[in-house]
Amino acid sequence: MIKLNTAISIVGAGNVATRLASAFNASNVSISHISSRTIESSSTLADSIGATACRIDELPESQLTVVCVSDDLIPIVLKEINPAIPVAYTSGSVSIETLPKRAQIGVFYPLQTLTKERETILSDVPFFIEANSKEFCNQLVELAKKISSNVSIATSEERSKIHLTAVFVNNFVNHILYHAKAYADDNNVNFDHLMPLLFETIEKIKSNAPSEVQTGPARRGDKQTIQTQTEALTGETKKIYEVLTESIIKTYLK
């Protein structure tokens, strides 16, 4: 078991890597090396935090490497990293048991949507930690606590369920908003007028169950309004409206 140095390395230079690097840097966690698919992307992120851009075979052996790549690339990247290096990856859905065996492997999963361009405060973001040993798990928990006050241990099965729930809350909601804005733009509706409604929707479920605050024509069983609105839509937007309307009716009126 390697006792980790105070510095860490990061593999990846995308959304998650950029935001974690920024948070670590702001919390005085030293990041010594950045490696990614291209030296250009590695250098851009490394230069912004005073780290060294390197190839994946140049990562230091005696310190943690946080792997911030897409789910499909995790097993490929792990095979390229020296087996002696302790690693933690940031996926919500990839089980440790499905990955190549290593002496020290863990999960460092932030439950938040992250983008390069938007600075995100991580101090309240939930982090879910898992590892193949209690000692390594504790080390990852302590690292997470340096950037967040909301740190928990979760098994791969628990983390998978958390991630699936997050897909509904974030990814699907965002896609619905995409269709709403597209309809608004096509019909000269100022989408900014919808912002107070969107904010109130989120505020309501902070203190109430979603089932208690559902409103709208489907919840009321307003058949005429539903028919009129369905006829006004086309393509994928119409399909989404119909599927969600049917689901709401089945949930509350049948």
CB 195 within 8 A of CB 201: no
d(CA 204, CA 215): 12
CATH superfamily of 8-154: NAD(P)-binding Rossmann-like Domain (3.40.50.720)
Q: What is the C-alpha separation between 153 and 172, in angstroms, rounded?
A: 26
In this structure, which amino acid lies at residue 99? L
**φ and ψ at residue 36, rounded to 5 degrees:** -150, -175
Sheet holding 64-67, edge to edge: 52-53, 31-35, 8-11, 64-67, 87-89, 105-110, 127-131, 151-153
| The pLDDT value given to residue 3 | 58
User: Hey, is 194 helix, strand or coil?
Assistant: helix
Q: pLDDT tens per residue, the chain (254 residues)?
A: 555 667 999 999 999 999 999 999 999 999 999 999 999 999 999 999 999 999 999 999 989 999 999 999 999 999 999 999 999 999 999 999 999 899 999 999 999 999 998 999 999 999 999 999 999 999 999 999 999 999 999 999 999 999 999 999 999 999 999 999 999 999 999 999 999 999 999 999 999 999 999 999 999 999 999 999 999 999 999 999 999 999 999 999 97
* CATH 3.30.930.10 fits domain 160-252: no
User: Which pLDDT does position 5 carry in this prediction?
Assistant: 61
Domain boundaries, the chain: 8-154, 160-252
CB within 8 Å of 52: residues ≥ 6 apart? 32, 33, 34, 46
Q: Give how far Cα 126 sits from Cα of 24, 29, 184, 232, 247, Å.
A: 15, 19, 34, 41, 30
